[in-house]
Amino acid sequence: MIDVEDLIALIQNYNPRSNSDNIRKAYAYGKKMHEGQVRQSGDPYFSHPISVAAILTEQRLDDATLITALLHDTIEDTKSTFTELSQLFGPEVADLVDGVTKLTNLQLSSAQSKQAENFRKLFMAMSKDLRVILVKLADRLHNMRTIKSMKQEKQHQKARETMEIFAPLAGRMGMQWMRDELEDLAFRVLNPEARGSIIRRFITLQREAGDVVQKINADIRTELDAVSLEADVYGRAKKPYSVWRKMQEKDLTFSRLSDIYGFRVICNSDADCYRILGVIHQRWRAVPGRFKDYISQPKSNGYRSIHTTVSGRDGKRVEVQIRTRQMHEVAEAGVAAHWSYREGVLGKNPFAVDPAKWIASMTERLEDDDHDAFLENVKLEMFTDQVFCFTPKGDVLQLPRGATPLDFAYAIHTRIGGSCVSAKIDGLRVPLWTRIKNGQSVEIITAEGQRPQSSWVDIVVTGRAKAAIRRSLREEDRSRFVILGRELARAAFDHVGRPATDKALRTAAKMLGLADETELLAQLGSAELTARRVVSTLYPELSLADPELADNMRPILGLAPDQIVNRPKCCQAVPGERIVGITYRGKGVVVHTIDCPALQEFEQQPNRWIDLNWEPGRHAPVHTVTLEITIANDAGVLGRICTLIGVQKSNISNLVFADRKPDFYRLLIDVDLRDVEHLHTVMTVLEAEIDVAHIGRYRDVRLKPKSIEAEL
């Protein structure tokens, strides 16, 4: 366990002005609170918070963050409270510890919908102070380094969570070293055989070819010395997981895999970066398509560097990254560089990004999406590489790899994206699903009246574009639902002899707790609300009988006085049809038409059959039947259908779009009828309508006796 004075020495190496007394105070408090607690490895529990703090000193972070690391488990695992921490260490530290505690309590490896909500909470916590996630990432890194002491099942859970969430998040924050280590530690747990195989291949390669890294390192050093360029050169073999991922993505064996070695050249100025690039390209042949200039076009997390891949010694491909020392600081610390100290002074690195702006860009336009869409967009933002393209005016846009002209259009403005009809890349017209490449110039062609199409969601790759398209489609659906809802409301109100005025609808909306009559009509059209409920809410004395209650009071001959009758959806018997009853213990009698397929299940149980008949006479229009109708997708057709049903004195109690196509709709409409004659009249009238391609009585053949019983 690291001693407090050793920890203070680590801090004073980069921040001599650190308040050592506060560090000692936090160390003593944390040690006291965790006294008697041990980790699964048997080590004192407080060794973990100390190690987390030590990891954060590598990023030269401020005292508040380091004290938070020492105390990050006190609220959750000890008797310490937020109030006590605030009094002892100030509100800043208390808020940070509380934020880390809330993140720890998020179960990020649960079901996807829950996971999406947890992502939302995670980003909300990050938006208040990004140092919360820096402590959490260091906490996860130390837990992964010591994961062997956990149970096997817990190891796999933590490793998957690390691979899916924390490693990509560290990479997105610019902390690539942490992402590499987290991925490799998780890879060791999830696929130890593959990792071991790659390491053995590296050992074999080194034995056969010698220390390739040292040889190439010396070659680069020699070329730079020849032109008197001062720079540091570092080389390494890539991490096993990085190699494994490339093998999977490119479907290559290890022997066919290139650029498994990476080198960094760190110099003093931007000009030196480009001079070094020239020296390397003169000495070795550049690999086409493998050059990226992140100095002139930096990443959103502040990362700047030149990347190039060349055919080095013995034809081996090597990747070379060239950057200045200031760029290297940001490349190592990422967004955390904003809080880095040097010689006791908060760093003024010009390349460090403002964390507030970074987190805003991550969550932009994602607030209104549902949980699944939010999760999808966050993962898109975290896992993507980037391409740089130009507007016709020469401005540069940064987009994820695989972005299309539609992504480009929405990146400029939502209005341009929504009205996009086609695009030109480098002056040539291309389909909207074309993938943009680095350095291409994109021109968007728009047209008045164009609206986003549902197929666009599958074309775009940016979270911003997906969110805007889905929002527009929802608004368009809402307009259509309002129109349909108005027709349903008019038909229902006509049925009870009342006009469906705006005032009446507004009153009903208020009584139902809805915002206004537009919201009421939208819910009617989308089948979230039934017209019967609206009418019964506004005119209880005129409302139609509740369908379940009506079923139980229906005049049927052959029942005992205390028997209750139920009518399932498998056949929806109506007066005038021949019916039989099947008895259910404690559930009364279920009425079926004589030709209902569900009756086959009861052929060997004659004691459960009851012969039933409808009482003669006129019945109330409370018998719901589902009609399956296919209509043309033209303006006004659905409205006419609803009107025709209303004219026949039948109420529409529900409507569902079973299928939507560009030229037709297939609908399931629940209509309330008096008897079989009334049913035939409604179907005949609808069948005569020119825009009705098909009409039939819908029977839910999926319903089996057990599901019928469950339905009751």
Catalytic residues: 76-77
Query: Within its chain, how far is the Cα of 196 from the centroid?
Result: 33
Structural element, H or E, at residue 137: helix 131-145
Instruction: Fill in the DSSP letter of residue 583.
Output: E
- Dihedral angle, C-alpha 555, 561, 564, 570, nearest 10 °: -50
Q: Are 243 and 260 in contact (CB under 8 A)?
A: yes
Pairing of strands 396-400, 386-390: antiparallel
Contacts of 6 (CB under 8 A, 6+ apart): none
Give the chain's radius of gyration (CA, Å).
35
Structure tokens, 631: 């209509």
Structure tokens, 540: 């209880």
Structure tokens, 668: 């399931």
Pairwise CA distance, residues 365 & 353, whole Å: 20
Nearest to residue 461, comparing CAs of 423, 396, 408?
Answer: 408
How would you list the strands of the sheet with 428-430, edge to edge? 428-430, 420-425, 442-446
Pairwise CA distance, residues 67 & 51, whole Å: 12
Pairwise CA distance, residues 45 & 279, whole Å: 52
Other CB atoms within 10 A of residue 33 CB: 20
Which residue type, as a one-letter code, is found at position 507? T
CA distances from 218 to 236, 261, 519, 630 (A): 13, 14, 72, 76
Which residue type, as a one-letter code, is found at position 632? A
3-state secondary structure of 550: helix
Angle ∠(606,611,612) on CA atoms, nearest 5: 145
Contacts of 72 (CB under 8 A, 6+ apart): 49, 52, 97, 100, 101, 104, 135, 139
